[in-house]
Structure 1
Amino acid sequence: MKIRVLVVDLDGTLYATNTFRQFIKYVWIRSIMNVDIILSFQLLFLIIMRLIRIIGHAELKFYFLSFIANRSYIDKSDFVSSLCIYKRNIMVLQSQKYNLKVLATAAPEIYSRIIAKEQGFDVCIATKNPNLRYHKEYENSKENKKENVLSYLKTKGLDSVDLLITDHVDDLPLIKISKRNIIVNPNIRFEKMLQALEIDYKVANYG
């Protein structure tokens, strides 16, 4: 039986929100509720460092996840439940046509894996928990995301993506190698870029 691969993005695609920003808010509130003053100040410091552009988005993610490690009061399942209002009904996920379904995201795996399991994905490829020092390949985004997806497919004896669903230009490396693409709520600039590259795609509009 031929294995057909479906790859779906998370933020702005499967969910109509940036889940990582929602997670920062969730953890911030929980740190205050649990009078975790150290973590509260660490998070505030990180946010300020990001706002004044001393650190990038990927570095923010790395240090944020480092700081919240071993905080037992942070309930990832409860956080995922809080996101239900943002969940989109992407009909192709119910299709039997695709027998390997991959959730591929730059969001942290500590909650993305829970989402993947609940939504019936076979695997979740996401940003892993921090290990040692920060490095530019840390975040599962852009070219890194493409390489990580291809590396996983290789372990299954596969070498291609049959359908990619995403909303973000950061997924252009994956878009270029996918046989078919569905772009969620693209802006004009994104569409012009795809057209200039002569990439075939369909548009899915969600509210």
Structure 2
Amino acid sequence: MRTLFVDLDGTFILGNSYMEFLRACWLQGGLRMRLILVGAIAIRAVTGKRGRLRMKMTIARSFDQLDEVRQQAVVDATITAMRRIISRPVQEKVESFRSEGWGIVLATAALDCYASRFSEELGFDHCIASPPVIPGLHWQECWGAIKADRCRTIAGALYEGPLEMAAMSDHADDLPLLSACRSVVIQASVSEAKKLQAGPPKDVHVSVIDPLAAESGGGIWLWFMDAPSGPHDPWEVRTILSKHRYSLMYVGDGAWRRTRPGDSLTPAVLRVHCPRPPSALARISVALSRKIVRDSLQIFH
């Protein structure tokens, strides 16, 4: 059976689902969850990359300890944010594979608590994700060689006949999986894609989707109220900016710039499809400015 494995973060969705999950935990998880988040992130900041797994385990365990109502609220908020940044070109590619009879599996390092529900909503046949943290059992994040092994095992268990695999990814973490595939779709900038293309064997068919570059026939993309909006023509942008003064505009190469009414729109890079979202820092900065100046100080102009 031919099986397509689709990465989640940076591929099927343009952003990072785990960042959306952390934000949802902060907003919906209650005071105890907020304290745990602060502690876990502080440890991660001090220990660097060595502390990433410990942070993820701590937060996953704490989520599992929330009551059912809070868990549902966190998952709902996470998935709502994820829906806004689905990569339409990747989604169209997935549907093209499906129409040709491929089995479609979401394969991600994201936590199963929200990844599995998201995969069901989007019509994937199966979901491979990082499992819940069970006391006394060794926990493994589903990435790299571990993810590749799970993909091969699942494909063999789910489907009969000779195994042919394809994959869609945006990151070098998936090279163990990409190297085992006959067909690969990479969603990355030109420079990032070149590095990834050097990994799979030469006989692998590779196609590239660029989520950053200008696209013919595109429009201006804005980010306001923590969601993307576009493509727009300049007149639409002027109207939006008159109502949403805390907006970011896509200016190319993955960068977004704060844009106010009257600012020049010349720096905008035009695209048909939504580019990668702004960085977490940019999103927090514009949201915090809006909260302080507009909501607290009541300054509207």
TM-score w.r.t. the length of structure 2 is 0.61
Q: Tell me whether 101-110 or 67-76 shows the greater mean CA deviation.
A: 67-76
Pick aligned residue for 2:38 from 34, 37, 44? 44
Shift of residue 56 of structure 1? 2.9
Code of the residue aligned with 1:204 in structure 2: it is: I
Shift of residue 189 of structure 1? 5.2
Tell me if the contact between 1:113 and 1:124 (Cα under 8 Å) persists in the aligned partners.
Answer: yes
The answer on 1:120 being equivalent to 2:123 is yes
Alignment of 1:1-207 (within 5 A): 3-31=1-29, 34=30, 36=31, 38-53=32-47, 55-71=50-66, 72=68, 73-74=70-71, 75=73, 76-89=75-88, 90-95=91-96, 96-133=99-136, 135=138, 138-156=140-158, 157=160, 160-186=163-189, 188=191, 191-192=194-195, 194-195=197-198, 198-199=201-202, 200=204, 201-206=206-211, 207=275
Q: Distance in 1 between matches of 2:10 and 2:19?
A: 12
TM-score w.r.t. the length of structure 1 is 0.87
Give 4+ residue runs of structure 1 displaced > 6 Å after superposition. Answer: none
RMSD between superposed Cα atoms in Å: 2.1
Q: Distance in 2 between matches of 1:17 and 1:138?
A: 23
Q: Distance in 1 between matches of 2:175 and 2:162?
A: 17
- 1:11 is paired with a residue whose SS is coil
Code of the residue aligned with 1:65 in structure 2: it is: A
Tell me if the contact between 2:193 and 2:208 (Cα under 8 Å) persists in the aligned partners.
Answer: no
Where structure 2 has 5 or more consecutive residues not aligned to the other structure, the ranges are 212-274, 276-301
Q: Distance in 2 between matches of 1:159 and 1:98?
A: 14
1:32-52 Cα offsets, whole Å, 9 max, x none, are xx4x2x322111010011111
Q: Distance in 2 between matches of 1:25 and 1:100?
A: 32
Q: Which has the higher contact order (CA 8 A, sep 6+)?
A: 1
1:142-196 Cα offsets, whole Å, 9 max, x none, are 0000011111112134664432111011000000001110110145255235326
Which of the pair has more CA radius of gyration?
2
- 1:138 is paired with a residue whose SS is coil
Tell me if the contact between 1:13 and 1:166 (Cα under 8 Å) persists in the aligned partners.
Answer: yes
Count of residue pairs brought into register by the alignment: 200
